[in-house]
Amino acid sequence: MIDSRAVIDPGAELDSDVEVGPFAVIGPHVRVGRGSRIGPHAVLDGHTTLGEACQVFSHAAVGTIPQDLKYRGEPTVLEVGARTVIREFVTMNTGTAGGGGVTRVGTDCLFMAYSHVAHDCLLGNHVIMANAATLAGHITVEDWVIVGGLTAVHQFVRVGEHAILGGCSAVVKDVPPYVSASGNRAKLYGLNLTGLKRRGLTPAAILALRGAYRMIFQGEGETVGACLDAVRASPHMEVPEVGRFVEFIAQSERGVTR
């Protein structure tokens, strides 16, 4: 059902069963997948694509132009995966030419009220951003990450899969996968044990990750590179998650949260 009071550009592409509430505004280059629901007063603009069964609540602004002074009106893109929920007053911007031109959000994500996804961010699947959490530009957030309320993440930071960021944190360096980080500036507080158990990691895998974590972040008098080499030479590397953990840290350009 499309409310007669909605403003929808003739160029927009909406599947036949999309619902649009009163006073919603949908721009000419927007595509909305089947089964999606657009709430009252929501704004969808730019070259934006929503997957199937998405929900956009009232007063969200999705696909608006980047908050970047270098932006000159070039056609850039926002892609939102299926079954993602975008709550009240959430803002999501399209990409910039200098950042690859695409802001991408995965499937089955939840963005609580007032959270923000800036230009050129790349988010995986099952990401949760709590109320007023904020991502600056060019950030990568991998699958199953949780960002606590009022947390701000610095531009170009990477957050690894299954990590959890505590509320009211300021994250300025990369956050490795599988960990818990919190504070201003954020520090590590061990593994995200609750999240790893919920995701079905075996006790053996969690034990190996714990061993690798201790070798890298709780050793004394060794460089990070030396610690990574020690983990690579250890039996912990038989666990695929440990390999991913080591690879993420080794590839960090900003340095990792510790």
- Enumerate the active-site residues: 119-120, 137
Which helix (H) or strand (E) element contains residue 64?
Answer: strand 61-64
H-run or E-run covering 26:
strand 25-26
**Per DSSP, which regions of 77-207 are E strands?**
77-80, 85-86, 91-93, 102-105, 110-111, 116-117, 122-123, 128-129, 134-135, 140-141, 146-147, 152-153, 158-159, 164-165, 170-171, 179-182, 187-191
Helix axes 203-217, 224-232, angle to 10 degrees: 150
